[in-house]
Chains A and B, each alone.
Chain A
Amino acid sequence: MSPAPIIEVVDVAKSFALGREGLLGRRMTLRALAGVNLTVLAGDTLGIVGESGCGKSTLARVMVRLLRPDSGRVLFRGRDLSGVDHSSDARTRLQMVFQDPYSSLNPRMTVGSAIEEPLRAHRIVLGEEVVRERDRLMECVGLSPHLAGRLPRELSGGQRQRVSIARALSLRPQVLIADEAVSSLDVSVRAQILNLLSDLRSELGLTLIFISHDLSVVDHLCNRVAVMYLGRIVEVGRVADVLGRSAHPYTRALVAAAPQPVIGMRRRQPPLRGELPSPTNPPSGCGFRTRCPIVQSVCAVKEPPLVNLQGGHLAACHFAAAAQAAPEGVGPPNDNANCR
């Protein structure tokens, strides 16, 4: 049985208007998404990676309809949700967990009420069932129901993130989108939350979209990954293909730059020179060409399309095949296994 697409992002573009450049300058627009196509299959754990400003959070917000795209469509189980009411069944099927649980929870509301609120508002359960369901959700995310009377500030960062997850799960979503949900947590607590997400996925059959700047975490948790750069997806496919046999030079640089707690992998040169171009004034042709180690003249003229290399491994580079074959740079990350 092949899994059905649960979310399809079709040609989605989104720009934000910024102020003028100076008093009389031109109006600036920031192009956050420039024609993104992405299919998420039911049961997938899809990682979306990229550096700050690449559009990954905008993509997540467009997927849950917190933002309306300028053009393009987002389909949930084949249905366009743009005209659908907020409280509709279909809308509640997509839930989101944010980076900072401290600012996404009401500081004056006990964590118990924070979890009960969506249960009541959407009439998931009624009457006395609400408290019972709350306790069940808290246990489900590894929180003792005794903590229900506490305020967010009385909990640790990890516990607060568990509350956010319980709150998102209360509406019985089919898709959970976690936007840098473990980025502000310490290593030992981060491992607990990653294990929790992984358990919830298998127990509840959730589709998980995991947005992160941390490749190691995505490699650990996800089965597919999309790499974004300047509002575009530059590479997408199975994690083993994208991170192990990267076809796009940017993905290769990201893998090489990710610091690994392993001896004997020090580089002499940083993998990329220069910085991200401004999304208010992106380069012509391929967005990555200003930093690309294998840039050619064609890259300034023609934007490379996202093409299928093999078996669902797609990359947007004129020289994808060459990049994959090139011996210099990073080898497959599986080499770690040999490092004691």
Chain B
Amino acid sequence: MNAILANRHGAPAVSVAGLSVGYDRREGRLAAVIDVSFSVARGEIFGLVGETGCGKSTVLRAIIGLLHPKAAIIAGSIAVAGADVTQTSVRGLETLRRRHMAMIFQDPLRALNPVLTIGEQLGEGLRALGGIARRDVRKRVVEAMRLVGIPDPETRLRAFPHELSGGQRQRIAIAAAIIRSPELLLADEPTTALDVTIQAQILALLRQLCRDLGMSVILVTHDIGVVAETCDRVGVMYAGRLVELGSVERVLQSPSHPYTAALLAAIPRIGAKRARLEAIAGLPPDLGEAIRGCAFAPRCGLRVDACAEWPSRLEIHASGQLSACLRHLELAPGRLDAAP
């Protein structure tokens, strides 16, 4: 299955199989992630999209072992660098995070220590590795800052986070993440708080780092435009499940799940005048309640009675696409392009 899920050669940078995550609340357990499987190849940028509460950030936090204290992995495995994150001790996780993966967050100001200079906190990550001479630490910090496009890094070393702009801070957060050359970078809405011209710079930087360092990236975003701009493959999540998976090209041009199609129809595009947007009626389901059949069925225009009973899971179709929909054949390719 994983050979299908990661369409590149070599061992994947991360392989998630059958992952389910639950949150314990007073009202009972909430199923935040249900049976999610995907792999990310080396050097690949994988996008994970969906709306608020769909579980995309929870998947990311499960991979790096930073789940909320009330959340627990109920089933599944996450393979990174030959280890299964779900079975690893706290110390083992620290080693994985030190050597193999790193994460960047939406708000870089909260991710950086306000009382340490940029140089101190970037160097901290390297010193944790041990056995690196002080002079070399400084050299690699400056190098990392240069790599992420910070002008005049030798001077900026002494700056504090609050002295930098939002875009510069996100660059520093990226520098902190890549300074130990991780194979896998997890990015949770890294450009959502930034202006569009700065967003374009940061996304270009991520693409360049993947190309130059052979790093793999999982990019969690709510913005399909960002996916189109940046990613190689994409997974679409709805109500805790992965409902579609494929190359960005295929998924955006001929979606094989009605939710993907509906999301695309709800996005305005520059220059494509439409009198009305096709809004998706209704709301996502309450994840605290067990959902039978397809979770999207109550909002779906293609729904038939069987959808309520169908054990929703990702399947590969004759077209080569993966989606979790009984009625995927009804989604004629190119249907979305008919918009005047």
Interface string of B253-271 (1 = CB under 8 A from A): 1000000001110111111
What separation, in Å, do the CA atoms of A273 and B224 have in the docked complex?
24
Query: Taking the nearest CB of chain B, how far is it from the CB of A99, in angstroms?
Result: 14
Instruction: Using known A-B contacts A186-B222, A276-B195, A332-B271, determine if residue A340 contacts B228 with beta carbons closer than 8 Å.
Output: no
Instruction: State whether A260 touches B200 (Cβ < 8 A).
Output: no
Of B79-87, B276-284, B321-329, which stretch is located at the interface? B276-284
Would you give the shortest CB distance from A292 to chain B, in whole angstroms?
Answer: 12
CA distance A15 to B277 in the complex (A): 39
* B-side contacts of A266, CB under 8 Å: 228-229
Cα distance A337–B270 in the bound complex, in angstroms: 10
- With A216-B268, A258-B225, A340-B253 in contact, do A188 and B279 touch (Cβ < 8 Å)? yes
Partner of B262, one of A157, A188, A194, A272: A188
Roughly how many angstroms separate A191 CA and B269 CA in the complex, as a whole number?
Answer: 12
| Interface secondary structure of A, over-half rule | helix
Q: Which of A273-297 contact B (CB under 8 A)?
A: 273, 275-276
Contact across chains for A213 and B196 when beta carbons are under 8 A apart: yes
How far, in angstroms, from A156 to B199 measured CA to CA in the complex? 28
Is the beta-carbon distance between B278 and A219 smaller than 8 angstroms?
no
| Residues B274 and A220 in contact, CB atoms below 8 Å apart | yes
Q: Does A244 contact B (CB under 8 A)?
A: yes
Cβ contact within 8 Å between A51 and B196: yes
User: In angstroms, how far is the closest chain B Cβ from the Cβ of A30?
Assistant: 15
- With A194-B268, A244-B271 already in contact, the answer to whether A261 and B224 are too (CB < 8 A) is yes
How far is A44 from B200 in the complex, measured between Cα atoms in Å?
Answer: 31
- CB proximity of B260 to chain A, nearest CB, Å: 11
Interface membership of A91, Cβ < 8 A: no
B204–A336 CB distance below 8 A: no
What count of chain A residues pass the 8 Å CB interface test? Answer: 53
A191 touches B278 (CB 8 A): yes
Asked if B201 is an interface residue, CB under 8 A from chain A, the answer is: yes
A187 touching B267 by the CB < 8 A rule?
yes
Pairwise interchain contact B269-A259, C-beta atoms closer than 8 A: no
A190 cross-chain contacts in B, Cβ below 8 A: 266
Q: Which residues of A contact B252 (CB under 8 A)?
A: 261-263
Separation of A335 and B273 alpha carbons in the complex (Å)? 12
User: Do the beta carbons of B271 and A257 come within 8 Å of each other?
Assistant: no
In the bound complex, do residue A337 and residue B222 qualify as a contact, i.e. CB atoms below 8 Å apart? no
B279 near A195: Cβ-Cβ < 8 Å: yes
Instruction: Say whether A204 faces chain B, with CB atoms less than 8 Å apart.
Output: no
CB proximity to B under 8 Å, residues A153-190? 156-158, 186-190
CB distance from A101 to the nearest CB of B (A): 15
For residue B103, CB closer than 8 A to chain A, the reply is: no
CA–CA, A270 to B204, complex, Å? 7
CB of A140 within 8 Å of the partner chain: no
CB-CB contacts below 8 Å: B183-212 with A = 195-201, 203-204
Q: Does B168 contact A (CB under 8 A)?
A: yes
Nearest-CB distance from A120 to chain B (Å)? 31
The residue that B270 contacts in the complex, of A198, A260, A268, with Cβ under 8 A, is A260
Query: A186 touching B268 by the CB < 8 A rule?
Result: no
| In the assembled complex, B165 has its CB within 8 A of some CB on chain A | yes
Which A130-165 residues sit within 8 Å CB-CB of chain B?
A: 156-158
What is the distance, in angstroms, from B39's C-beta to the closest C-beta of chain A? Answer: 22
- Interface membership of A269, Cβ < 8 A: yes
Q: A219 with B199: in contact, given A262-B228, A263-B248 (CB under 8 Å)?
A: no
Residues of A within 8 A of B52 (CB): 157, 186
Q: Is the CB of B276 within 8 A of A198?
A: yes
Q: Tell whether B114 is near chain A: CB-to-CB under 8 Å.
A: no
Residue B167 CB within 8 A of the other chain: yes
Cβ-neighbour of A267 out of B200, B249, B262, B280 (below 8 A): B200
B226 on the interface (CB 8 Å rule)? yes
Binding site for B on A (CB under 8 A): 51-52, 156-158, 186-192, 194-195, 198, 213, 215-217, 219-221, 243-244, 253-263, 265-273, 275-276, 332-337, 340
User: Considering the complex of A and B, which 9 residue pairs feature the smallest CB-CB distances, nearest first?
Assistant: A259-B225, A220-B268, A333-B271, A188-B280, A51-B195, A191-B279, A191-B266, A191-B277, A186-B51
Give 6 A-B pairs besides A187-B51, A258-B196 with Cβ atoms closer than 8 angstroms.
Answer: A188-B266, A189-B279, A216-B267, A220-B273, A221-B268, A259-B196
Chain B residues within 8 Å of A, Cβ to Cβ: 51-52, 165, 167-168, 195-201, 203-204, 222-229, 248-249, 252-253, 262-264, 266-274, 276-280, 283, 334, 337
